Amino acid sequence: MKGGDFLKEVLIRANIVEVLSDYISIKRRGKNYVAICPFHYEKKPSFTVSPDKGLYYCFGCGKGGNVLKFLQDYKGMEFKEAVVELAERYGIEVPASFHSSELNAKKEEKARIFEINQEAQRYWSKNLHSTGGSSAMEHLKGRGLNEIDIKAWKLGYAKKSENSLLNYLLSKGFKEEEILKAGLATKYDSSLKDLFRDRIIFPIMDEKSRIIGFAGRSLHGEEPKYLNSPETSVYKKTWTLFGIDKAWEEIKREGFVVIVEGYMDVIKLQKNGIKNVVATSGTALTEQHLRVLKKLTEKILLMFDGDEGGRNATFRAIETFLKVDLIPFCVFLPDGYDPDEFINEKGTPALKSLLSSPRDLIEVFIEEKARNISDIRTKRRRIEEVLSILKIENPIEKEHYMEILKEKFSISKVLLKEIEMGEEKSNFTSPRNESKLSTVEVKLIKILLKSREMCDEKELMECMNGFSESTRIFIESFLKGCSIEECIQNLSENGHDPSPFISVIMDETPVYGNESEIFRNCLFAIRRKRIEEETRRLQHEIERYGKDVPPELIKKKEELIKSLKIIKKGEM
């Protein structure tokens, strides 16, 4: 299969709604779909996906493209990486010619990091079971873990010396540059040193049980208490959930998932029979984390530490849940307990009892904000704070929470609506208009897309040098028989932002009037603009000559003025 045919097949086979649904929450609205834009902060959906056209466009920030552009922008992929990912997803054979040396190098780098991580884990595991790892082993056993647990979670110990792992990996044939890319060493001045030293090691795995990174816990109070691997080509913290490899099937079976804060919390809960539990890895809870879990269940429980910090972290997650169209649930532990401590002291049945009756986190938040109100100003600020977060599109869900808000704050529904509308008005920002297309180009493209048969292609091609380069590429691609997706892809491949064109394609506002006449007038306008620009340029050249103007320049200017009069007459 030729490269062009291969790309065309990928664009035809890749269902944009299906692919985007893996990353964002989209809802049908008429023949299109809408979503909260993942590329800028907004509270009402302005991100539109057209399955018919195979395109997306945000009317808020102006971002748009096809399914390949989405993967490039959202996941930070290179163009060929995105193509290969889609091809593999839809079972399309990737031609050898498409595998660039750069793409092959990235694949090799990822494979090599997996190998290095595996070897590092083996080394640290041996350290844990050696004399030098006795204090680490005592700590783990003191936390209630046994040999079976330590083996199941592949736990290890990093020695205190500066480069014990580095020397070991070098002896196994790995290069310094590879070890750096894996995030296992750090550079001080001109020399490398182990990143993890004198720490208990927790391997972090993906859903396929591949080791993608590590976390190291200090043994003697050093800060930070937990040190995570830096991000690498295989370890992306905003997507990574510790314990997901063991919890994946359990989450589907149980119908819900519990998110906790610590690695040890995950291990202890899973050890005690609560296996549908995960934790974030080196970062706060993100939309990406929730989208990963949403594939498995829509019932997600937060169970953070029972202190004020844990409670505040839980409340901060509300907006993140709402952005991905999820209602958050929570379980609050008694103050001073984390899940590990609670299960040690109160036992598994007590924790399972708490998990069996989770609270709606939004309801809890409203109740919390309605407490201890001392004056009217405090009341106003608290209501505004809740409304600033409570941006829910579904009318049934919204009505439910508004009723609770009305009841808890003793405020009338009418007044509550007025406050909400006032806030929406103050937060309103008009959509960005980044279109680089003139009004004439917009009309022309709309007519061309709708009624190609009434457009004189010969006349259109004669006007090509009056268009911008991006418009020329789009029109020429379309006239050659390319699909809309391919026209957009051609713009991207030639270094042009396709968003202005997607904005025109997705805008369903009709062009009023006789389309054939509008098309002809657009061509006249383009010719007129081109001649006017050439006339101005020629006049500047004539003025530079002073009295000795070459006769051919005068003649050329007269011809341009004559052509301009003919065009203006044709427009009348």
Tens digit of each residue's pLDDT (9 = 90 or more) over 397-419? 989 999 999 999 998 878 887 77
Mean pLDDT confidence for 64-72: 93
Which contiguous run of DSSP H or E holds residue 352?
Answer: helix 348-355
Q: Is the pLDDT of residue 154 over 90?
A: yes
Structural contact between residues 116 and 172, judged by C-beta atoms closer than 8 angstroms: no
The whole-number pLDDT of residue 71 equals 94
Q: Which of 243-252, 268-277, 520-529 has the lowest mean pLDDT?
A: 520-529
- Percent residues over pLDDT 90 in the chain: 51
The whole-number pLDDT of residue 289 equals 94
Q: What is the DSSP letter of 187?
A: E
Q: Which of 16-20, 246-250, 449-453, 560-564 has the lowest mean pLDDT?
A: 560-564
Of the pLDDT bands very low, low, confident and very high (cuts 50, 70, 90), residue 435 is very low
CA-based nearest residue to 135, from 218, 227, 203: 218
d(CA 129, CA 135): 10
Q: Is 110 exposed, middle or buried (0-12, 13-18, 19+ CB in 10 A)?
A: middle
Question: Could you tell me which residue, 437 or 181, shows the higher pLDDT?
Answer: 181
The whole-number pLDDT of residue 433 equals 43
Helix axes 361-369, 395-409, angle to 10 degrees: 30
Q: Which of 186-190, 316-320, 381-385, 553-557 has the lowest mean pLDDT?
A: 553-557
Q: Is 411 exposed, middle or buried (0-12, 13-18, 19+ CB in 10 A)?
A: middle
Of the pLDDT bands very low, low, confident and very high (cuts 50, 70, 90), residue 569 is low
Q: Is the pLDDT of residue 561 over 80?
A: no
E strands, 63-161, where?
64-65, 156-158
Structural contact between residues 240 and 202, judged by C-beta atoms closer than 8 angstroms: no
The whole-number pLDDT of residue 457 equals 74
Which contiguous run of DSSP H or E holds residue 193?
Answer: strand 191-194
Mean pLDDT confidence for 364-369: 95
Mean pLDDT confidence for 42-59: 90
Q: Is the pLDDT of residue 322 over 70?
A: yes
CA-based nearest residue to 325, from 45, 95, 518, 546: 45
CA-based nearest residue to 238, from 216, 217, 258, 212: 212
Of the pLDDT bands very low, low, confident and very high (cuts 50, 70, 90), residue 429 is very low
- Percent residues over pLDDT 70 in the chain: 94
* Residue 372 CB neighbours (<10 A): 8
The whole-number pLDDT of residue 405 equals 94
Angle (nearest 5°) at CA 48 between 7 and 9: 15
> Which amino acid type is present at position 286?
T
Mean pLDDT confidence for 212-230: 94
Q: Is the pLDDT of residue 223 over 50?
A: yes
| SS3 (DSSP) at 106 | helix
Convert the pLDDT of each residue in 451-509 to its tens digit: 776 677 777 777 777 788 888 899 888 888 888 888 898 888 888 888 889 988 888 77
Helix axes 551-571, 515-545, angle to 10 degrees: 160
The whole-number pLDDT of residue 432 equals 46
d(CA 45, CA 43): 7
41 Cβ contact partners less than 8 Å away, ≥ 6 residues apart = none
Mean pLDDT confidence for 315-338: 90
The whole-number pLDDT of residue 430 equals 44
Convert the pLDDT of each residue in 86-136 to its tens digit: 998 998 988 887 777 777 888 899 999 999 999 999 999 999 999 999 999
- In this structure, what are the phi and psi dihedrals at residue 213, rounded to the nearest 5 degrees? -170, -175
The whole-number pLDDT of residue 264 equals 96
Q: What is the chain's mean pLDDT, rounded?
A: 88
Mean pLDDT confidence for 236-259: 96
Question: Could you tell me which residue, 319 or 3, shows the higher pLDDT?
Answer: 319
Question: Could you tell me which residue, 202 or 478, shows the higher pLDDT?
Answer: 202
β-sheet with 277-280: strand ranges across: 241-242, 277-280, 257-260, 300-302, 329-330, 359-360
Of the pLDDT bands very low, low, confident and very high (cuts 50, 70, 90), residue 217 is very high
The whole-number pLDDT of residue 572 equals 42
DSSP lists the bridge partners of residue 217 as 200, 226
- In this structure, what are the phi and psi dihedrals at residue 139, rounded to the nearest 5 degrees? -60, -50
How large is the C-alpha radius of gyration of the chain? 31
